[in-house]
Amino acid sequence: MKAFTVRIRFHGDLNIFLPRKASDAVIERRLAEKTSIKDVIESCGVPHPEVDLILIDEQPVGFDHPLANDAKVEVFSVRNRDTASTEKHLQTTDSSSFVVDVHLGGLTRNLRLLGFDVAYNQNADDRQLLELMIRENRALLTRDRRLLMHAIVQHGYCPRSQNATEQTIEVVRRFDLSESITPFTRCLRCNAPLQGASKTEVIDKLEPLTKAYYDQFRRCPGCKQIYWSGSHFPKLEKRIEEIRSRVRDKP
């Protein structure tokens, strides 16, 4: 087979995955055998769950599109999506349940605080994370791009920031979650949906001051943790409001 050249331009913030020398976000690959566009894109460092649209000669193609001749390719992220376009998108934005890798504990807590279903297990290895992702049809959140490139990953996202609040804002935007936020409905420790509990049901578990000052409680049916709007509550409400308002003012 005659060697051929594929020239790929990465749009939006996909350039963060590219080698530093690709400052104009264009990479050229010289290939000598038929290769899928997905493999060529991932060989540049960009995980496939980050890719929402691939155009070759202005025509949208799927991940399995084979390359065998010279081609100019344009690659777009979900963030580039023009809501008016009817092009063939490769990602959905409607995941609302997640599995999160062990390094993203702060993000996990914030997403649960907003009411989202987030599986997190400090002792799970990569294989167990991927199994849970498939079994429960969850989107994978990880900063490990090798893990995100695993062939069985359908939906996923690599948080750009190292800061948990920024990561949360990114995930809410990426999966279009702003209308689905239901704060204080999920256990921050174990992810179970919380249930209302009357004071008499929980009274023997409460400290004296809590007993005296609070009347409304929620209880986790999983780990039995009791929640009430105590002294930590204004701080959490402030965090939720910050996330909401930042999501509203799109960059």
> How many other C-beta atoms lie within 10 A of the C-beta of residue 244?
15
Residue with the two structure tokens 């890798």: 101
Taking the complex as a whole, the smallest distance from the CB of residue 191 to Zn ion amounts, in Å, to 7
Residue closest to 222 by CA, chosen among 197, 189, 192: 192
Q: Which is nearer to Zn ion, 28 or 201 (CB)?
A: 201
Q: Which is nearer to Zn ion, 35 or 225 (CB)?
A: 225
222 contacts Zn ion (rule: CB under 5 A): yes
Distances (CA, A) of 161 to 13, 109, 170: 12, 16, 8
Please name every residue paired with 74 in a beta bridge, in sequence order, or none if there are none. Answer: 9, 55
Residues contacting Zn ion: total by CB under 5 A: 8
Taking the complex as a whole, the smallest distance from the CB of residue 240 to Zn ion amounts, in Å, to 19
Span near Zn ion by CB under 5 A; candidates 32-40, 69-77, 121-129, 214-222: 214-222
Please name every residue paired with 9 in a beta bridge, in sequence order, or none if there are none. Answer: 26, 74
187 contacts Zn ion (rule: CB under 5 A): yes
190 contacts Zn ion (rule: CB under 5 A): yes
Span near Zn ion by CB under 5 A; candidates 94-102, 107-115, 173-181, 219-227: 219-227
Please name every residue paired with 141 in a beta bridge, in sequence order, or none if there are none. Answer: 100, 157
Residues that bind Zn ion (CB under 5 A): 187, 189-190, 192, 220, 222-223, 225
